[in-house]
Amino acid sequence: MKKLMIQFMKFGVVGGIAFVVDYAIMVFLTEVFGIPYLISSTVSFCVSVVVNYLLSMRFVFEGREDIRKQTEFAAFVILSVIGLGINQLVMYLVADVWLGDKIKRAYLFAKIVATFVVMVWNFVSRKIFLEKK
């Protein structure tokens, strides 16, 4: 149990770094270039996936020896694409459906909510599919 807690804390740190990358790029693209938040969020999410993969497989998860790195990365990307779908759905529901016009720049809050939801998905799915048993 202690090992799992330490691993989850490392996952949180790595996730925090990836979140900063994700959030900063999304805000930059939306605020500076006027790109709609769901598009800028997709771009920023993709960049953060690469950062997250590199850091996660180095510091958080012990990679499986029975699969090649290319296969491992492909699985990571597939799990992340599912996470992106969850991210986009939660952002849309929070920013457009729930908050609507009630809060200016609701997408900023929606991204935080979506990140916490996707964080759970990421940890559980990566633990099941990518980590050495």
Read off the pLDDT of residues 45-67 as tens digits, 9 standing for 90 and up.
899 999 999 999 999 988 888 88
Extract long-range pairs of 15-23: CB within 8 Å, 24+ residues apart: 15/52, 15/119, 15/122, 17/51, 17/55, 18/48, 18/49, 18/51, 18/52, 18/55, 19/48, 19/115, 21/47, 21/48, 21/51, 22/47, 22/48, 22/111, 22/115, 23/111, 23/115
Q: Tell me the C-alpha distance between 123 and 74, whole Å.
A: 17
Q: The whole model's pTM is what? A: 0.83
The rounded distance, in Å, linking the Cα atoms of 41 and 128 is 26
What's the confidence (pLDDT) of residue 100?
83
- Domain-wise residue ranges, the chain: 2-129
Distance (Å) of CA 13 to CA 72, 114, 125, 133:
21, 17, 18, 23
What is the C-alpha separation between 80 and 50, in angstroms, rounded?
A: 10
- Confidence class of residue 101 from pLDDT cuts 50, 70 and 90? confident
- Residue 104: its pLDDT value, please? 86
pLDDT at position 23 is 96
Would you place residue 37 in the very low, low, confident or very high pLDDT band (cuts 50, 70, 90)? very high
Does residue 133 surpass a pLDDT of 80? Answer: no
Residue 59 contacts by C-beta under 8 Å, 6 or more apart in sequence? 10, 13, 14
